[in-house]
Amino acid sequence: MIRKARIEDVKAIHGLLMHNEEHDGLVLPRSISQLYSHLRDFFVAVDEKDAVIGCCALNIIWDNLAEIRSLVVLPEHRGKKLGRKLVEMTLSEAVTLGIYKVYTLTEQTGFFAHLGFVEEDMDKLNQKVFTDCINCPRFPDHCNEVAMVMAL
C-alpha cells in the first residue's frame, strides 16, 4: 500500500535513505531534521504490517516546477512496481497542487523513461543547482545524474 508519510515514519525513511547511500549510492542521504521539515513531501510504501519498505518525495521548486526525489524501495521488495506506484502518487499530488512540470535527477534513466520522463539539459534546471546540488559532495565534478522532465 502507498500512503502519505506520518511522523512515526521519519526514522524508517531515514534508514532507507542512509542504507541506500551506503549500498547503491543512488539517492542523497537526508538528515533526520530535513526529514521532519519535509515530511509532507513524502509518500511511503508499507507492507502488511505497516512497516515502511519504500519512499518517494515531491519537492516543490518554483511556481510550476517540482522534483521527484528520494525514491527508494528495499531490495527485497523491488520488482513489485512499488517504485512506479510511488512516483505515480507524487505526480498525482503535483497535479492536485497545480504543478504541471516535474523533474528528477537520476542515474536510473530507463526507469524514468518508461514512466514518460524525457532527458533535459541540466542547465535548464538552474533553480535546482542553486538549492540542493551546490551542497552535494558529488557536485560538480562527480555527478553522474541526468535531468529528466515530465510535462503533466
55, β-bridge pairs: 44, 72
How many domains in the chain? 1
Residue 129 has pLDDT above 70, yes or no: no
- Span 97-128, pLDDT tens digits: 999 999 998 989 999 999 999 999 877 776 66
Residue 49 has pLDDT above 90, yes or no: yes
CB 55 within 8 A of CB 71: yes
62, β-bridge pairs: 65
Alpha-carbon span 2 to 15, nearest angstrom: 18
Q: What is the CATH number of the domain that holds 81?
A: 3.40.630.30
- Span 71-80, pLDDT tens digits: 999 999 999 9
Range of the domain at 48: 2-151
Q: Is the pTM of this model over 0.85?
A: yes
Alpha-carbon span 144 to 147, nearest angstrom: 10
